[in-house]
Amino acid sequence: MMLQIGGGVRVARSQGENRARRRLWSDVGILILLAAIRLLIHLFTNHNYGFHRDELATWDDARFLAWGYVAYPPLTPLITRTMMEWFGTSLVALRFPSGVVQAVAMVVTGLMARELGGGRWAQVLAALAVAIAPISMLMGAMFLYVSYDYFWWVLTAYFVIRLLKSDDPRWWLAIGATIGLGMMTKYTMAFFVAGVMGGVLLTPARRYLRSPWLWAGAGLSLLIFLPNLIWQVQHDFISLKFLSSIHARDVRIGRTSGYLLEQLFVNANSLAIPLWIGGLIFYFFLPAGRRYRLMGWLFVIPFVLFFVAEGRSYYLSPAYSLLFAGGAVAWERWLSTRPAGQARGWRGATWVAVGLGALSSLVLTIPFAPVNSPLWEVSSSVHDNFREQIGWPELVETVAQIYNGLPPEERSRTGILTGNYGEAGAINLYGPAYGLPRAISGVNSHWLRGYGDPAPAQVIVLGYPRERAEEFFASCSHVGLVTNAYDVPNEETGRPDIWLCREPRLPWDELWPRMQSFG
């Protein structure tokens, strides 16, 4: 009889474990389905318009693989180079990894909610909050380092939750690995690290300071980041000079002034404000979140540091995922205490808000509207990312007409000097079809690649006002204008003059250091 009872207990336990396993895979399956729908949206729309100027910079850098670049660490160019080798210059293919990591970020955020005690409803809500966040949707539509930076923050936050829930210090290895990969993607990961360490010191998690696994994780992150650190040493920490210059520019032209206000509608959909506020309440004030209070500090500390440092608002965007997860769990628990009819009403209102948020994000961030259509005008009034994808082939065609119109004896000693990385990337992407030489530029990593050998006797100059061009050359004549077929105003049409400049005022080896700039 005792054996039968024991056997019955084992069978019941096994059946319960099987039900839990089926439930888990069912929940994960729904999250994956939602993520796949989002990825399909990107796949069917990401071929529209053209390369963004920042994408052209990444594409061009990807042709020269290195352990570092002036504007960013090496991981994003490596991913881009991989897609280039497999699929050429297909926009859909190049943007595919960005769509994938943003879709996976949805799944991981849903799993965060699960680890915090949320049921299927909370998991789906948390995942959809990421999906409708304007910055996440926009980053799934372009291949930029911000897309991958977002993912590493989200994945690291998930690992921290697993650490706090399981109390298994071996999770520090996973945390260290993703922090290292994050640092190889974008240096703002350092602010996340500050949040983790601040949260450890301010909560009972400081017990992990005595664990060798924490220090092993820290060592692993440094090991992963070490090649880029060596590259920075070899190049006199040029990225620090770049970051200082860009930051000063952003402050000067007001790009950081909207930091607080933009938290309400850039990093999270404005209709999700109650959700992420609920996440802060969950971590700091609810008994169910007490164990995970470190997660609250993981948001608050970077928020304050970015504010004090006058950072751009979107730098904080991935930290909202952990608030979505906590807020969804808090909301689900509160609804479970309401009468059935009232709970159904609140759930219905929640899905209406999600639907409206999805509609607004799709209109503003997905490149599907015809250029200059009413929907295009709406999205372009909010951000300039689509405008900066227009006109690159026309620009190169114009330069080619100027270049090929020169006497044959002049072409072989004519270079193309660009004032920004978008122009350089466009010349190097589309120019070979017209027989154009590689562009030279003083901007970012282009400057490190030099001015060519032999040095050009004359240059076609783009992106320079006349007075700037004449600082370097004694003779500059106007030879063309940058336009685009849609008459879309963007950075290129704002500085449209093309010059043919001769007679360098100094030898090129003396001139080149003076041409260095950051953008």
Tens of pLDDT, residue by residue over 352-385, are: 999 999 999 999 999 999 999 999 999 999 999 9
How far is the C-alpha of 301 from the C-alpha of 289, rounded, in Å? 18
Share of the chain above pLDDT 70, in %: 95
DSSP 462: E
How far is the C-alpha of 469 from the C-alpha of 515, rounded, in Å? 10
Supply the pLDDT for residue 1.
38
Tens of pLDDT, residue by residue over 193-234, are: 999 999 999 999 999 999 999 999 999 999 999 999 999 999
- Give the pairing type, strands 440-441 and 458-462: unpaired
Supply the pLDDT for residue 25.
72
Joined tokens for residue 401:
């007409």
pLDDT exceeds cutoff 60 at 386 = yes
Question: Which of 334, 318, 319 is closest to 282 using CA atoms?
Answer: 334
Tens of pLDDT, residue by residue over 159-176, are: 999 999 999 999 999 999
Supply the pLDDT for residue 3.
40
| CA dist 240 → 114, 244, 255, 494 (Å) | 40, 6, 19, 29
Joined tokens for residue 128:
């959809």
pLDDT exceeds cutoff 50 at 26 = yes
Q: Where are the alpha helices (DSSP H) in 46-141?
A: 53-62, 75-87, 91-115, 120-131, 134-139
Backbone φ and ψ for 433, nearest 5 degrees, come out as -65, -20
Supply the pLDDT for residue 2.
39
Tens of pLDDT, residue by residue over 252-306, are: 999 999 999 999 999 999 999 999 999 999 999 999 999 999 999 999 999 999 9
Q: Calculate ∠ Cα 324-330-333, nearest 5°.
A: 140
Joined tokens for residue 241:
């000079």
- The amino acid that residue 435 corresponds to is G
| CA dist 397 → 220, 433, 486 (Å) | 48, 10, 15
Sole residue written with tokens 């909610």: 113
How far is the C-alpha of 30 from the C-alpha of 22, rounded, in Å? 12
Tens of pLDDT, residue by residue over 5-23, are: 455 555 556 665 666 566 6
pLDDT exceeds cutoff 50 at 67 = yes
| DSSP states along 434-458 | GTPPPPEESBHHHHHT-S-SSPPSE
Question: Residue range 398-411: average pLDDT?
Answer: 96
Mean pLDDT of the chain: 95
Q: Could you state, in order of their start, the residue ranges of all structural domains in the chain? A: 19-365, 390-515
Which residues is 235 bridged to in the sheet? none
- The amino acid that residue 189 corresponds to is M
Question: Residue range 444-462: average pLDDT?
Answer: 96
Q: Looking at per-residue confidence, does 396 or 1 come out higher?
A: 396
Question: Which of 504, 500, 501 is closest to 479 using CA atoms?
Answer: 500
Q: Is the dihedral of CA 74, 76, 78, 81 positive or negative?
A: negative
Question: Residue range 136-158: average pLDDT?
Answer: 97
Sole residue written with tokens 């205490």: 337
Sole residue written with tokens 């590689």: 438
Joined tokens for residue 55:
């994408």
Cβ contacts of residue 2 below 8 Å, gap of 6+?
none
How far is the C-alpha of 198 from the C-alpha of 24, rounded, in Å? 33
Backbone φ and ψ for 455, nearest 5 degrees, come out as -65, 145
Question: Residue range 452-478: average pLDDT?
Answer: 96
Query: 3-class SS at 194?
Result: helix
Contact 518, 246 (CB under 8 A): yes
Cβ contacts of residue 57 below 8 Å, gap of 6+?
71, 421, 422, 424, 425, 444
How far is the C-alpha of 126 from the C-alpha of 327, rounded, in Å? 8
Q: What totals of helices (H) and strands (E) does the chain contain, helices first?
A: 24, 5
pLDDT exceeds cutoff 60 at 4 = no
Supply the pLDDT for residue 199.
98
| CA dist 132 → 47, 48, 200, 212, 266 (Å) | 21, 20, 31, 40, 10
How far is the C-alpha of 321 from the C-alpha of 31, rounded, in Å? 15
- The amino acid that residue 400 corresponds to is A
